[in-house]
A and B are shown apart, each in its own frame.
Chain A
């Protein structure tokens, strides 16, 4: 099933024409209504008339998260505040939050994209979906909620927190789909196991996003729960969840590119890269009214494929994320991504992928400690076996990361989880300017 065949299966030429027209309108709009962009374009000697088609997008200036912070809260709005119907904010780990604002049409476009994605995951209006993302300033809860309602699903706003109640309702209501973060879903799977209700559930689909996860973890979830798990992507600056999602073939995430134009750039030289090359993902919001962004640098590292998918959709697919460029840690000069730790842990039989990396600097030398939650599968009453497990994990991590790793076993569910999102990295190093 395809929700909007006219858009999702449009020929590449037609799509380029439509994007070109939308880009021209967008550039004229931000030039006249957003001082930040007008100044940037003037400094580059650019006028709206210089942008004739989508291929001219590379002439335009980039936008970064810092630009959003500098214009906190409403400096980048392209419409009067009276036209804004909703605001979301993302909690910055450092400094101020970033605020995003939506007009009524922005909300409509967003729920259209989420509906397309849900259908891509095999969800129909006959389904009942539990939305177990945090509701509030975070875009996850309301984003999925409005999309599911738009599709016509029976939508249950669970939010996060009481997992037992969630599972009880999943059973009592006969919920067939769930939307939440992948790490929260793993936790839900554990609770389902504890409550012994797996056979009574009707769950068949999970739509997971808001944190990077590996293909291994996706397969593990599918196997553990006997369902299909899909990856939904989006970031609040650009819109929220729904910007891209993977179809039943799981060969990359289809970008809703009539609304969000995707480019991959080399993060050092900032030059555009071709299909298959890994670089930083950049989005231009082609239709947004409230807070339109030109070439927003997501910091997410991926590659893109414009070939037609087996599902029939012509929208390009971005591959599952290699990591975020700002998630990448440099430890003793070696590039380390948290996703490598996750993959290595999942390869060890019975070990949970709940982990936290703690990077520190002792006597001018970087140290990496990986804390791994112990669960029933691997817990032994014999210290010797626990030590053997510790050694096995550190050997696996060392061969994956190529640096020395200290492994510490911790109690289950002792690692911080926030809005169902797990905090993967704590970097205690102090870098002086």
Chain B
């Protein structure tokens, strides 16, 4: 029910991002979506990939620091106020959104990746609000 997000630690040095995408490409792992959070010293890249467990293993093999984190993927309608409705679903239950980014976006619909302070509560809140969760396998094969 939860999505496994691949998180990789990266020093801000030239070519580091390349080396991560190289390893994934060589192992035939598709990057569905990616969000980079960085400071002046280092960055953390968050990704949804086609095979998170394998991705973590091959990155580790290559000497990268990678971990898997559980996140939620929620579908949204493509219209004004959707995102607002989504964030309110969490805040009204006292759940913090640590970060969010786009999983997929088209003219008709979109979906967001959400990391919240308590994933079980977040899951319940989404169900309660009648929002649709994206099935993990569907997300991995987008």
Which residues of A pack against B, CB within 8 Å?
194, 374-376, 379, 381-384, 386-387, 408-414
Enumerate chain B residues within 8 angstroms of A382, measured Cβ to Cβ: 44, 98-99, 115
Q: Is the CB of B67 within 8 A of A194?
A: no
Give B contacts to A, CB under 8 Å: 5, 7, 9-11, 16, 37, 39, 41-42, 44, 46, 60, 63-65, 67, 69, 98-99, 115
B-chain residues with CB within 8 Å of residue A409 when the two chains form the complex = 9, 41-42
State in angstroms the CA–CA spacing of A387 and B42 once bound together. Answer: 10
Tell me if A379 and B65 are in contact (CB < 8 A): yes
The 6 closest A-B pairs by CB, nearest first: A381-B7, A381-B69, A383-B37, A412-B65, A411-B11, A408-B41
Residues of B with C-beta under 8 A to A413: 63
CB <8 Å contact, A376 and B5: no
Q: How far is the CA of A194 from the CA of B9 in the complex (A)?
A: 18
Q: Are B63 and A412 in contact (CB under 8 A)?
A: yes
A381 touches B46 (CB 8 A): yes
Given A386-B44, A410-B11, A194-B60 contact (CB < 8 Å)? yes
* Contact B46–A387 (Cβ < 8 Å): no
Q: Is the interface of B mostly helix, strand, loop or mixed?
A: strand
Residue in B9, B37, B69, B115 whose beta carbon sits within 8 Å of that of A411 in the complex:
B9
Complex interface: chain B residues within 8 A of A410 (CB): 11, 42
Q: Which residue of B lies closest to A386 (CB)?
A: B44
What separation, in Å, do the CA atoms of A401 and B42 have in the docked complex?
25
CB distance from A140 to the nearest CB of B (A): 25
B115 to A, closest residue via Cβ: A381
6 additional contacts (CB under 8 A) given A374-B9, A383-B39, A386-B39: A374-B65, A381-B5, A381-B44, A386-B44, A410-B42, A411-B9
Q: How far is the CA of A410 from the CA of B9 in the complex (A)?
A: 9
Interface hub of B37, B41, B67 (most chain A Cβ within 10 A): B41
Of the candidates A376, A408, A411, the one having the most CB atoms from chain B within 10 angstroms of its own CB is: A411
Residue of B63, B67, B115 touching A376 (CB-CB under 8 A): B67
Q: Are A411 and B46 in contact (CB under 8 A)?
A: no
Contacting residues, chain B, for A376 (C-beta < 8 A): 65, 67
A414 to B19, CA, bound (A): 14
Q: Contacts of A386 on B, CB cut-off 8 Å? A: 39, 42, 44
A269 to chain B, nearest CB (A): 45
User: Is the CB–CB distance between B65 and A375 below 8 Å?
Assistant: yes
Residue of A nearest to B38 (CB): A383
Chain A positions within 8 Å of B7 at CB level: 379, 381
Q: Are A379 and B9 in contact (CB under 8 A)?
A: yes
Residue of A nearest to B6 (CB): A381
Distance to closest chain B CB from A171 (angstroms): 19
Find B10's partner among A375, A384, A411 (CB 8 Å cutoff). Answer: A411
- A194 vs B99: C-alpha distance in the bound complex, in angstroms? 30
Name B46's closest neighbour in chain A (CB-CB).
Answer: A381
A383, B44: Cβ atoms closer than 8 Å: yes
Report the separation of the CA atoms of residues A386 and B16 in the bound assembly, to the nearest whole angstrom.
19
Chain A residues closer than 8 Å to B5, beta-carbon distance: 381
Per the bound structure, the CA–CA distance linking A110 and B67 in Å amounts to: 48
Q: What is the bound-complex CA distance between A305 and B78, given in angstroms? A: 78
B46 to chain A, nearest CB (A): 6
| Nearest A-chain residue to B37, judged by Cβ | A383
Bound CA–CA A333/B99 (angstroms)? 44
**17 intermolecular pairs with C-beta atoms under 8 Å apart:** A375-B65, A381-B5, A381-B7, A381-B46, A382-B44, A382-B99, A382-B115, A384-B98, A408-B42, A409-B42, A410-B11, A411-B10, A411-B16, A411-B65, A412-B63, A412-B65, A414-B11
A residues less than 8 Å from B46 (CB atoms) = 381
- Whole-angstrom distance from the CB of A105 to the nearest CB of chain B? 46
Q: Complex: how many Å from CA A411 to CA B16?
A: 10
Which residues from chain A contact B44 at a C-beta distance below 8 Å? 381-383, 386
Least CB distance from A240 to B in Å reads: 32
Name A387's contact: one of B39, B60, B67 (CB within 8 Å).
B39
User: How many Å lie between the Cα of A412 and that of B59 in the bound state?
Assistant: 12
Q: Is the CB of B67 within 8 A of A379?
A: yes
Chain A residues near B69: list those with CB within 8 A. 381
A193 to B11, CA, bound (A): 24
A381 CB contacts on chain B under 8 angstroms: 5, 7, 44, 46, 67, 69, 115
B82 to chain A, nearest CB (A): 25
Q: How far is the CA of A379 from the CA of B63 in the complex (A)?
A: 14
CA distance A412 to B63 in the complex (A): 7
In the complex, are the beta carbons of B67 and A411 less than 8 A apart? no
Find chain B residues with CB under 8 A from A375 CB. Answer: 65
Cβ–Cβ < 8 Å partners of A411 in chain B: 9-11, 16, 63-65
In the complex, how many angstroms separate the beta carbon of A39 from the nearest chain B beta carbon?
53
Looking at B5, B10, B63, B65, the one whose CB has the most chain A CB atoms below 10 A away is: B65
| Distance in angstroms between the alpha carbons of A413 and B115 in the assembled complex | 29
Nearest CB in chain A: distance from B89 CB, A: 21
B3 to chain A, nearest CB (A): 13
Chain B contacts for A383, CB-based, 8 A: 37, 39, 44
List chain B residues, Cβ under 8 A from A194.
60
A416 to B5, CA, bound (A): 31
CA distance A374 to B8 in the complex (A): 11
Closest to B10 in A: A411
